[in-house]
Amino acid sequence: MTTRDWQERWNRFLNRPVELLRCLGLVGFPSADRRASRRVLLFGGLLLVLDAILDWRIGAQISLAPLYLLPVTLVAWLVSQRAGMVFTALAAAFGLLCDLLVKTSSTDFSVPYWNALTRFGVFALIVWLLSTIRKQMRQLSEAVQDPRRFCGKSINAGK
């Protein structure tokens, strides 16, 4: 198998989630318009509320923090870093609310607040990493399309 075959397979693998979201009408990657951004925000908000309801119904026995990551990362990748941080704060607040509603008598008063703070910190770090990766991918895509503009030099400048 040649290098080109591996590159094509890798690109197909990376584009699968994007194609799925494009079929759902949620994204026009790489630059989503306002209508698509609103759809992603609405879909992410709905997922966040469903996660909170599920978290409340299940109780304190199982942590559903990984489920809260789905809408947070979706919004951070497809809309913006700022929107991802807003969803991070909402996810931490919903998690705190669920922890307080299903509070067991054995937990200390500060435990739900500590859990919310750590959840916010981890989610914020993930949002920052995703936005950095997305920014780098966009810059690399622009560099491949027009290398002269990316380097700031003309190819014929050395002659």
Tell me, yes or no, whether 89 lies in a domain.
yes
pLDDT > 70? residue 153: no
- The pTM of the full predicted model, rounded to 2 decimals, is 0.69
Q: How far apart are CA 134 and CA 118, in angstroms?
A: 24
Query: In the prediction, which pLDDT does 13 show?
Result: 61
Tell me, yes or no, whether 20 lies in a domain.
yes
pLDDT > 90? residue 139: no
- The stretch 112-118 carries a mean pLDDT of 90
Joined tokens for residue 68: 């809260």
Structural domain boundaries, residue 32: 3-145
Among 28, 51, 50, 53, residue whose Cα is nearest residue 39: 28
Confidence of residue 14 (pLDDT cuts 50, 70, 90): low
Query: In the prediction, which pLDDT does 30 show?
Result: 46
Tell me, yes or no, whether 112 lies in a domain.
yes
Structural domains of the chain, count: 1
Q: Is the CB of residue 22 less than 8 Å from the CB of residue 33?
A: no
Among 13, 42, 9, residue whose Cα is nearest residue 27: 42
Query: What integer best gives the mean pLDDT of the chain?
Result: 79
Tell me, yes or no, whether 111 lies in a domain.
yes
Q: Which residue carries 């590159």 as its tokens?
A: 7
Query: In the prediction, which pLDDT does 73 show?
Result: 94
Tell me, yes or no, whether 158 lies in a domain.
no
Query: In the prediction, which pLDDT does 3 show?
Result: 72
Tell me, yes or no, whether 106 lies in a domain.
yes
Tell me, yes or no, whether 155 lies in a domain.
no
Least confident segment among 16-20, 82-86, 112-116, 128-132:
16-20
pLDDT > 60? residue 89: yes
Query: In the prediction, which pLDDT does 32 show?
Result: 47
Query: In the prediction, which pLDDT does 99 show?
Result: 85
Amino acid identity for residue 146 in this structure: D
Least confident segment among 68-72, 81-85, 102-106, 119-123:
102-106
Residue 19 makes CB contacts below 8 A (sequence gap 6+) with none
DSSP string, the chain: --HHHHHHHHHHHHHHHHHHHHHTT---SSS--HHHHHHHHHHHHHHHHHHHHHHHHH-SSS--HHHHHHHHHHHHHHT-HHHHHHHHHHHHHHHHHHHHHT--TTS-TTHHHHHHHHHHHHHHHHHHHHHHHHHHHHHHHHHHH-HHHHHTS-GGGG-
- The stretch 17-30 carries a mean pLDDT of 53
Tell me, yes or no, whether 152 lies in a domain.
no
